Amino acid sequence: MALVCVEPEDTEKNVQRLLERILNYRIFADSDDRMNLSLQDIHGGLLLVPQFTLAADTQKGNRPSFTKAAPPEKGRELFVYLQDLAREQYPVTEFGVFGADMEVALVNYGPVTFTLRA
C-alpha cells in the first residue's frame, strides 16, 4: 500500500517519478533475507490511497494545518493521472477514492515504513 499526498509544487513529472520509484524501490526480501527485490520483481499487488493528511503541519498548537497539501482540485487531478499511469504500467493496482472517507486496513510485515519523494 502506498499512501499518496500531493503537495502544491507537484507536477505530472513528479507523479511519473513517484510511480517509477514505487514500482522499482527494493524493499522486499530476497532469498538471503536482504531487502533487494522490488514490487515488480515479486509481482506483488499495489494499492494506491490518496492521503492529503500526510502533508499536515503539526508544529504549532493542537490542531493540524493542511496548507502544505495541494488544493483539492490539484490533488484530485494528479491522483487521477497517477491512476491512469498505474493502470497502464502495472495492471495489478487498486485504488482508494479521492476525497472519500475510507476504511483501510494495513498489515505491516516488517518494522519499516518509507517516505518516497519524487
Which of these is catalytic: 52, 79, 83, 98?
52
Residue 118 pLDDT > 90: no
pLDDT in tens, 61-100: 999 999 999 999 999 999 999 999 999 999 999 999 998 9
d(CA 24, CA 26): 6
Whether residue 19 contacts residue 68, with contact meaning beta carbons closer than 8 Å, is answered with: no
pLDDT in tens, 31-43: 999 999 999 999 9
Which of these is catalytic: 16, 28, 40, 51?
51
Q: Which domains does the chain have, with CATH numbers?
A: 2-58+65-95 (3.50.80.10)
- Report how far apart, in Å, the C-alpha atoms of 35 and of each of 29, 30, 32, 47, 66 are: 4, 6, 9, 20, 34
d(CA 82, CA 9): 16
Which of these is catalytic: 16, 28, 53, 67?
53
**pLDDT of amino acid 12:** 98
pLDDT in tens, 10-53: 999 999 999 999 999 999 999 999 999 999 999 999 999 999 99
